[in-house]
Structure 1
Amino acid sequence: MARLEIRRRYTWSIFQSIEYAGEQDQLQLSSFFTFMLDNFTHLNLISHVLDPNNDFMNEEAKLAKYEKIEVPDSYAGPRLSFPLTVVHTNALLSGFKQQQTLHPRYVLQLLHETKKFLKHMPNIIHLSTTYTRQITVCGDLHGKLDDLLLIFYKNGLPSDENPYLFNGDFVDRGKKSMEIIIILFAFLLVYPNNMHLNRGNHEDYIMNLRYGFTKEVMQKYKTHGREILQLLQDVFSFLPIATIIDNKVLIVHGGISDFTDLDVLASIERHKVKLSPTHNYNSPGKQRAEETSCHLSFLQIVDLLWSDPKNQNGCIPNSFRGGGCYFGPDVTLRLLKKYNLQLLIRSHECKQDGYELCHDGKVITIFSASNYYEEGSNRGAYIKLGPDLVPRFFQYQVTKVSCFCFLHSVTAAEGSALKSLREKLYAHKTDLIAAFKDCDKNNTGRISTSDWASAVESVLHLDLPWRTLRSRLVKLGPDGNVDYLSCFEDLQIERSIKEVTPCLMETLYRYRTDLEIIFNIIDKDHSGLISIEEFRQTWKLFSSHLHIPIDDEAIDDLARSIDYNKDGSIDFNEFLEAFRVVHKLDSKEN
């Protein structure tokens, strides 16, 4: 059991480190978007995505436009009429359980009504338990519809007698984000005084580009997808940013900082603060004091949505995520004392038990998406708060099998985590080999465990227990030293392309997700195709911005290596698939 627990803990560390590294990559990509807009606006490649206000049609005209969208008689999904009733929410729940998709006309109408309602909501919602027995607080759902349905099954549907607060990150990662926000928004309109939603850091269109929600919307709503996404940008911008229960419990998605000022936050025009992470999230305190009021408003909200608690006193930039702050127990106590509060509830971090207490019980993390990293990786949970404000925790786990023992759970999650980590090693193969060779002065192919661990951490910056992981990632020589090239042995690029240099192949794999996002942005008609010239322009800009030494000839070699369509366009999904890393052993087994 002790060995299993060690495996469980390092598996968890791998998943979380890779997740946060991805968020840092997202900040870099967002910086690239800003770079393109600032320096290459004449290309008009992404301005249509980054400008949420590019549709000047008034609200009445938009609604009339939505109402004219025809719903064919053959449509068998839920049908909505406004104002919504419980009959409609029941129809949505039933339809989604049957894998039905809501017609785009109803989606647009629902989002329009939700936006109209949220525009009149304050930045900070004040709730009271005196009128109801208990308020249920749920954390991140991340597109996992089964978890939402299980919560409703165990705890009851939202109603006047059963109020809910969902604390952000409804979308991304999971495959049912659209269904989740439709259900939440529908209940919001039916029970406006007893259904409440805080904004999370993933209720942001730049985050949605990387983590799947944009792709999900476009796949489910090809014709009206872009229109739905633009309306969602507005809806997300009007979501409240904090909730206070009985003037004693503060609930925000991420956390706080030593600059958090609830009075300032209450007065911000939240829909005008653009949260796409193209600014410097980690401005030091002295620099923050000199920021403009607009940027200070931005930083205040970013702190609420991105920050994490830490055990040490003080407040420092959250360099692990790349945004927000790490705040210590002293920061928590100062804020609670300043506003006469008792407790801070936040979400934002996956916890193995679905919740966690820290800062002497003054900070609670609640996370409601079970199996977040892998089947069996974690439980989900929700909190019930009554007039006594004593939190009661309820745990659950969605599972597709009747018996899911601890050993099977750890083994399955561990295999998935190690596979992801080895792919991460391969993505930085050139830099890792250079770091290994610096330690291998005699060119033996082996280095000490200590040197190997230091070299890997210096390149990947994942803060993992590399000594413990050594036996799972590399082979050891008779002398106990590490055969450092063995960590790349069972990995290869899906398709060998002779014209492409190994360095460029590795770069393509490392930034494969970023390139997919950019290609999807350029592909305005969502045909799956871009022109050769658009491909060349994009890659030149991308390599220039990242300071990757790839010349025009190498880019042309790359373009020539692709099978063009008859019209000279590129199917970029097929192109990216060629640069997928595969595990040789997996291929043999298959």
Structure 2
Amino acid sequence: MGCSSSSTKTRRSDTSLRAALIIQNWYRGYKARLKARQHYALTIFQSIEYADEQGQMQLSTFFSFMLENYTHIHKEELELRNQSLESEQDMRDRWDYVDSIDVPDSYNGPRLQFPLTCTDIDLLLEAFKEQQILHAHYVLEVLFETKKVLKQMPNFTHIQTSPSKEVTICGDLHGKLDDLFLIFYKNGLPSERNPYVFNGDFVDRGKNSIEILMILCVSFLVYPNDLHLNRGNHEDFMMNLRYGFTKEILHKYKLHGKRILQILEEFYAWLPIGTIVDNEILVIHGGISETTDLNLLHRVERNKMKSVLIPPTETNRDHDTDSKHNKIIDILWSDPRGKNGCFPNTCRGGGCYFGPDVTSKILNKYQLKMLIRSHECKPEGYEICHDGKVVTIFSASNYYEEGSNRGAYIKLCSGTTPRFFQYQVTKATCFQPLRQRVDTMENSAIKILRERVISRKSDLTRAFQLQDHRKSGKLSVSQWAFCMENILGLNLPWRSLSSNLVNIDQNGNVEYMSSFQNIRIEKPVQEAHSTLVETLYRYRSDLEIIFNAIDTDHSGLISVEEFRAMWKLFSSHYNVHIDDSQVNKLANIMDLNKDGSIDFNEFLKAFYVVHRYEDLMKPDVTNLG
């Protein structure tokens, strides 16, 4: 009797254990699948981000092309060259940019007192928490005074730590003010006993870039020996044109925004390009290459590189100039990879990929132990690679989507191991279960990927049809994936993503025209040819930057002649084949009141992608075929 009871208990125990193991294995598989989906979503975000940066590099070469070919079209528009590229702006008088702007009594925002003190840092933080706007007079004065101090600094700042004085390294912030507030809350404000290095990319993407820049500059002016600023690849007026900071300035400072942008060009150029901690840790924004020469970089006239994206012009180009320019691009744009060697950074279009052997070679050459860099979003906020010799630190949490990644910073002290601190700004979605956060990320990633797909519909359709020898309307998943990779140029796991993007029949074949289902580009005018609509949508960001550069008075208007002339240059440089008659017809249609001017900014806003779930099906929407 006792034996039977014991046997029953044993069987129940075994059953419970097996059930627990089954549940445990199911949960592990469930978590693994969610993590895989999260990884794929992040890969989509990052691939498209880098492809856009590659486009920005191409746009920069177009600006050089434009400046060399624009003289015979409109001589007066060479003001663009004088304002943005070649002018020696050190001659500007303080009166024109600061003292001539009065602060009215009605202004109720923060009022800074120069010379600045820690009280002004507190004042600024409290004002920005209340979403107040700092008056343009103070913005210009802060930038003017910061530039004055930066001009006295070397290209690389040397700092020392001690057991009682650690240094905190922060990576990209990208206009995400809440992350900076959280860092200061957790780690304390900058001071003589609490030094910081901010490793570039303070601006762009986020909506509070000017606030972050003001906090960092005011803190720098109060503690010039204890707060250090490195230049990032987004501290560049060409990048700001695409990624939002220029728009933010012109929106927040409608009257004096142009002056602020002009001073910013000089300010960026005087930012140091790196920091060396305890003579053994190199802190730069991007990375290195096999030809990185720190001795040469110490001697570079950094103030002459207003935008590192625009190569030296033919008139001032020589081998030494080209070499210095390329080395600065490497410092700001490069990324580490696990593969040995140094090869072009094809994803971003600038800088290089550098392997563990390159890291060892450069660190050994200059008696350094570690490279700390930023420039890449990491799910955990940081990543260690190259046998612990390279650390990536990224301080903007929720960078792509709420819940997409943590932010982090590093604390360094001589003779001790670096300490990492992670955080995440917590809004409503961050409290959601992992599955809901992954769903949100995945939906957002697939949405922007679909938009990239529809912008290349004509090219993709031709590629699909070339593979479809039987004219069945179907391809194997491998054939479909080949076409997607070949046309879009995005390094993505297309086979794994196929279930999110296309219909697959019971035999496992892709109905390739379903790649464009439930998505379309809205046309600004009914008469526009579908190929032209698609082309304008694909290049809308580039065109907006170009025409905003021409629109020097920021009126939002350009002439019909400028539209035609610039399109001719653009299509020639980008090898875009659109019939001139189509462009001329579109230009005339866009000039609604026949005054010879085009509201080009409003025109570009008409090119947006409509998704089925947005319920925006209007009569002037085309399915592009």
TM-score (ref. length: structure 2): 0.90
The answer (yes or no) to whether the contact 2:155–2:300 under 8 Å persists in 1 is yes
* 1:296–1:132 Cα change, 3 Å: farther
Cα distance per residue 1:79-102 (max 9 Å; x no partner):
122211111111111111111111
The answer (yes or no) to whether the contact 1:66–1:108 under 8 Å persists in 2 is yes
> Which amino acid is the alignment partner of residue 527 of structure 1?
S
Partner of 1:243: 275
Partner of 1:416: 444
2:326 counterpart of 1:295? no
Partner of 1:559: 587
Structure 2: runs of 5 or more not aligned: 1-30, 619-625
Partner of 2:374: 347
Distance 2:143 2:363 in 1: 35
Superposed, 1:474-553 pairs within 5 Å as 474-495=502-523, 497-553=525-581
The answer (yes or no) to whether the contact 1:275–1:298 under 8 Å persists in 2 is no
* 1:244–1:577 Cα change, 3 Å: same
Alpha-carbon distance, 1:588 to partner: 6.6
The answer (yes or no) to whether the contact 1:256–1:304 under 8 Å persists in 2 is yes
> Which amino acid is the alignment partner of residue 584 of structure 1?
R
Superposed, 1:101-180 pairs within 5 Å as 101-130=133-162, 132-180=164-212
SS in 2 for 1:51: helix
Identify which of 442, 448, 465 aligns with 2:470. 442
Partner of 2:13: none
2:610 counterpart of 1:582? yes
Partner of 1:206: 238
The answer (yes or no) to whether the contact 1:138–1:382 under 8 Å persists in 2 is yes
Partner of 1:40: 70
2:30 counterpart of 1:30? no
Distance 1:225 1:22 in 2: 26
Distance 1:271 1:132 in 2: 35
Distance 1:46 1:214 in 2: 20
Cα distance per residue 1:341-365 (max 9 Å; x no partner):
1111000000000000000111000
Alpha-carbon distance, 1:567 to partner: 3.5
RMSD between aligned alpha carbons? 1.9
2:84 counterpart of 1:51? yes
Distance 2:593 2:220 in 1: 47
Distance 1:157 1:303 in 2: 32
Alpha-carbon distance, 1:440 to partner: 0.3
> Which amino acid is the alignment partner of residue 237 of structure 2?
Y
Identify which of 311, 316, 339 aligns with 2:338. 311
Distance 2:181 2:168 in 1: 14
> Which amino acid is the alignment partner of residue 51 of structure 1?
S
TM-score (ref. length: structure 1): 0.95
Distance 1:25 1:416 in 2: 21
Partner of 1:286: none
Distance 2:90 2:275 in 1: 33
> Which amino acid is the alignment partner of residue 84 of structure 2?
D
The answer (yes or no) to whether the contact 2:246–2:261 under 8 Å persists in 1 is yes
The answer (yes or no) to whether the contact 1:48–1:54 under 8 Å persists in 2 is no
Cα distance per residue 1:280-323 (max 9 Å; x no partner):
9xxxxxxxxx9711111111111111110010111111111111
Partner of 1:390: 417
The answer (yes or no) to whether the contact 1:436–1:455 under 8 Å persists in 2 is yes
Cα distance per residue 1:371-407 (max 9 Å; x no partner):
1111111000000112224110000111221723211
Partner of 2:216: 184
Alpha-carbon distance, 1:568 to partner: 4.0
2:363 counterpart of 1:336? yes
Alpha-carbon distance, 1:53 to partner: 5.0
Distance 1:136 1:105 in 2: 31
The answer (yes or no) to whether the contact 1:384–1:392 under 8 Å persists in 2 is yes
Alpha-carbon distance, 1:482 to partner: 0.3
Distance 1:29 1:80 in 2: 39
Give structure 1 regions of 4+ aligned residues with deviation exceeding 6 angstroms: none
Structure 1: runs of 5 or more not aligned: 281-289
Cα distance per residue 1:1-51 (max 9 Å; x no partner):
121111011101100000000011111111111111001124244642663
Alpha-carbon distance, 1:264 to partner: 1.1
Report the more deviating stretch, 371-380 or 330-339. 330-339
Alpha-carbon distance, 1:57 to partner: 7.4
> Which amino acid is the alignment partner of residue 51 of structure 2?
A
* 1:383–1:299 Cα change, 3 Å: same
User: Larger Cα Rg: Structure 1 or Structure 2?
Assistant: 2
> Which amino acid is the alignment partner of residue 361 of structure 2?
R
Partner of 2:600: 572
The answer (yes or no) to whether the contact 1:529–1:569 under 8 Å persists in 2 is yes
Cα distance per residue 1:114-163 (max 9 Å; x no partner):
11000000111110003842100000001111111110011110011110
Partner of 2:406: 379
Cα distance per residue 1:34-77 (max 9 Å; x no partner):
11100112424464266355476735x32465113111111011
> Which amino acid is the alignment partner of residue 109 of structure 1?
E
Counting aligned pairs with the same residue, the percent is 57
SS in 1 for 2:590: coil
Distance 1:180 1:65 in 2: 21
Partner of 2:297: 265
